[in-house]
Amino acid sequence: MYFSKSFIPILKNNPSEAKIKSHQLMLRTGMIKQSSSGIYSWLPLGFKVMKKIEKIVREEQDRIGAQEILMPTIQSSDIWKESGRYEDYGEEMLRIKDRQNREMLYGPTNEELVTEIFRSSTKSYKSLPQLLYHIQWKFRDELRPRFGIMRCREFYMKDAYSFDISDEEALFSYNKFFLSYLKTFKRLELSAIPMAADTGPIGGNLSHEFIILADTGESKIYTDKRIFDVEYEKTTLEKKSLENLRNKYDKFYSVTDDKFNKSDFENSVNENNRLVTKGIEVGHIFYFGDKYSKPMKASVDYQGKKIFVKMGSYGVGVSRLVGAIIEAKYKDKDEIMKWPLSVSPFDCAVIPLVNKNDDTNLLKAIKIYEYMKSKNIDVIIDDTEENFSSKIKKFNLLGVPYQIMIGKKSENDLIEFKEIGSDSKYLKIDKIIELISNKKK
């Protein structure tokens, strides 16, 4: 991508309406643009990051055997009346009437719709378990949308649903998602901890929120520091192995505000290990048995009887993650943002010092840019005539993790190269490509 041709509308200053770093940066670097309260357009830079996050989320869902579907954003109110949630959901639900005066709604979540899909086609217990997921826009008419895409009204969510024959099998499914979430967040270079949480309007009595620590988070958390050292890498997708993993985490006191109990916390966590802080909820999983299958009559035949399937649901805030990664990765002290390579809008920026009367640097930069592209490096070249230091500042702001500078000193094969936040090195182009490619693996 040539910077001069790109659509990256960078603002000169931080917008005053944005209170937290991620919101400021996303507006400042032209990742998003507000269209109305709590509703945003995603511009190329932001959209690219979100799509890369989505890809990782998808790969980790596929890896546990979940199958992708796509349900619509607009749903009929009938199924919500069947489950009994149409009234319960209250004002957060955006209700719409079509031209026949039928009551429709913009889906805030999909338990009803997926149950309806399941019950119309699955009749035998032999097809269980079924794990279905989709990645789709949701709408919740939040009372106070804030912090940009962190708490907005229209947002992009991965929601998965499991269908099983018994509680035991359903917990096996639950634990598969538990593991897949740990892996997903790790690939995004986030350290997300599972915490016992309230189930709110989704329901059920077992639930974990996945929280990343951040001062700007909206969830207050109480946890045992030792939970950060739990290892999950060796866990397999077998029932026992997954159960052990859950036990290893659940052994530690780790809850959000609404589950907090002072004496339990103090009795189970020694003073040195207590951590009371704030965090951002990036994922939330629920087990609710037959809460939806029973009223909606989603059953399978098992040993001559009809059994209501046991269900769980599993959400990841795909669009929220874009902001959450910024909150976690932005280094206040150096005013530097560095995207994890796995989701960065570009792997590397080629930044030539462009002189009106001499195009040597620009031509050299174009050659490097073309060569890197041919080696599958996602690269952007700044071919504008802006001065060198403001170009570098701009890429520090954009958070592109690697930069190549073609300036005065660039006479031979050794190229000035640096990782954001570190010092420059002088390396040959093939070495640079090797270094970035190895990091991408």
Q: Which residues contact 326 (CB under 8 A, 6 or more apart)?
A: 21, 22, 25, 26, 337, 399
Determine the distance from the C-alpha atom of residue 131 to the mean position of all C-alpha atoms in its chain, rounded to a whole number: 20
| CA–CA separation, 155 and 394 (whole Å) | 28
| Amino acid type, 152 | C
CB of 50 to ligand 5CA, least distance (A): 12
Q: Which is nearer to ligand 5CA, 141 or 419 (CB)?
A: 141
Taking residues 171 to 210 in sequence order and writing x for each that binds ligand 5CA by CB under 6 A, - otherwise, the string is: -------------------------------x--------
CB 351 within 8 A of CB 395: yes
**Residue 351, Ramachandran bin (φ over 0: left; ψ between -120 and 50: alpha; else beta):** beta
Q: Least CB distance from residue 2 to ligand 5CA, whole Å?
A: 33
Pattern of binders to ligand 5CA over 266-305, x per CB under 6 A? ---------------xxxx-x-------------------
Cβ 154 to ligand 5CA, closest distance in Å? 8
Q: Would you say 150 and 320 are in contact if contact means Cβ atoms under 8 Å apart?
A: yes
Q: Which is nearer to ligand 5CA, 285 or 432 (CB)?
A: 285
Q: Does 217 bind ligand 5CA (CB under 6 A)?
A: no
Cβ-based nearer residue to ligand 5CA, 151 or 391: 151
Q: For residues 321 and 432, which CB has a smaller minimum distance to ligand 5CA in the complex?
A: 321
Taking residues 131 to 170 in sequence order and writing x for each that binds ligand 5CA by CB under 6 A, - otherwise, the string is: ---------x-x--------xx--x-x-x-----------
The per-type count for the chain, helices as H runs and strands as E runs, is: 12, 21
Q: How far is the CB of 439 from ligand 5CA (least distance, A)?
A: 27
CB of 313 to ligand 5CA, least distance (A): 4
Residues 306 to 335 in contact with ligand 5CA, rule: CB under 6 A: 313-315, 317, 320
CA distance 377 to 45: 16
Residue closer to ligand 5CA, measured from CB, 157 or 368: 157
Minimal distance, residue 178 CB to ligand 5CA, in Å: 13
Residue (40 or 222) nearer to ligand 5CA, CB: 40
Cβ contacts of 166-174, under 8 Å, gap ≥ 24: 166/310, 167/289, 167/310, 169/128, 169/129, 169/310, 170/129, 170/287, 170/289, 170/310, 170/311, 170/312, 171/287, 172/129, 172/239, 172/242, 173/129, 173/131, 173/312, 174/206, 174/285, 174/287, 174/312
Maximum CA pair distance of the chain? 86
Report 229-258 residues binding ligand 5CA (CB under 6 A).
none
Q: Which is nearer to ligand 5CA, 284 or 291 (CB)?
A: 284
Q: Residue 60, SS3? A: helix
The residue whose Cβ lies closest to ligand 5CA is 317
**C-beta closer to ligand 5CA: residue 169 or 209:** 209
Phi first, then psi: give them for residue 211, nearest 5 degrees: -120, 135
Q: How far is the CB of 97 from ligand 5CA (least distance, A)?
A: 24
For residues 435 and 418, is the Cβ–Cβ distance under 8 A? Answer: no
Number of chain residues interacting with ligand 5CA (CB under 6 A): 20
Closer CB to ligand 5CA, 142 or 243, in the complex:
142
Nearest to 210 by CA among 235, 185, 175: 185
Question: What residue ranges in 80-218 does DSSP mark as E strands?
Answer: 94-97, 103-106, 130-139, 154-164, 192-196, 206-213
Taking alpha carbons only, the member of 314, 316, 308 closest to residue 289 is 308
In the complex, the smallest distance separating the C-beta of residue 341 from ligand 5CA, rounded to whole angstroms, is 23
Smallest distance, ligand 5CA to C-beta of residue 159, A: 3
Q: In angstroms, rounded to a whole number, what is the distance separating the alpha carbons of residues 118 and 292?
A: 12
Nearer to ligand 5CA, 212 or 350 (CB): 212
Going by DSSP bridges, is the β-strand pair 348-352/402-406 parallel, antiparallel, or unpaired?
A: parallel
- Minimum separation from the CB atom of position 202 to ligand 5CA (A): 5
Instruction: Determine the Cα–Cα distance for residues 46 and 37; give it in Å rounded to an integer.
Output: 18
The binding site for ligand 5CA (CB under 6 A) comprises: 109, 111, 140, 142, 151-152, 155, 157, 159, 202, 281-284, 286, 313-315, 317, 320
